[in-house]
Structure 1
């Protein structure tokens, strides 16, 4: 049922009150740290029928204390995205697998990025805010339970890990010749900067670049 903007705000407020973020875990039912969510920031131009602008931010009640199991990941640069700039990509999540319906251990699988024009021929509702990954022969990809999870890659230049995509949707899970669609994070870095600044917890791209230079 379509919701008016005020009702959507109330629904988001309710969800934030019951949502919890578990940190530093690789086993599903073990949580070293749990933080409540203060606010869910959704993209105002999200389109439900094709999942365009399928991205949201979580504002937590307190900062995350970083450790060996809790480290930040880089965001990709703003601008034209080319799959030729990236290597060694993985999708990570808790999804159903062929052998285990609900795995307790965090799963990962190496992925191949797919050229946008080629993917568009297979997924007609694909937009420029989406990225595709998968294998022509099928058999490996994100599935139910992975939604909202990261697609991470390294670059050919510095080998840092970047989150290039967010698991969004697909036709089946591992269908032959049909890659899965991911939200293209590079299209939203400016949006992330704007929304985090509004929330009083700004993500600053230049600070990320400075931190990388120190590493």
Structure 2
């Protein structure tokens, strides 16, 4: 049984008398523990799709089934519980709280769930055990993104959703971030979805979903996903 199933997912925004289709009749499935890349140009509907999967905004029609439950039918309170307990988010621009240390940023997220990972352990996982007392302004962009990943994984989420996680980073730092995310899938069994416009990283995924103009253009299965260390762009 698939861990994620989208069936005819559609999202329409209303602008006056005009209907704008951000997602159009999207159907796909994801197995538990898979690393999936959602690929497409800016404005294709990738981030909208991720927001719907993460319970941050409702769809207009269709089913969004995660772990056997159709979150498309959830009310606001149920979506809050779903986001808190089941989802880890990693964004392009980190979203760290500037007046909290790296450790405190991770602890803040860990406090909202039962049985969270220790903040020190989460920071060590992303090789930042020695920077736990630094504030975001004292960290490089790559280090801030690793704190953001530590914050996400400290919740021990079933599903890790990453929106352009390397978009603001240089090449080498981006590869380091992707290695952490790949390990989350391979070693920890997390289901990881990465939204990106960078087609060069597609070979690292178990599944690549190409989005164009709000709909699915193509779904490709990588039978032997590549290690990020072998990818150049």
Q: TM-score, normalised by structure 2?
A: 0.28
Structure with more of its chain in helix, by fraction: 2
- Point out which structure has higher relative CO (alpha carbons under 8 A, 6+ apart): 2
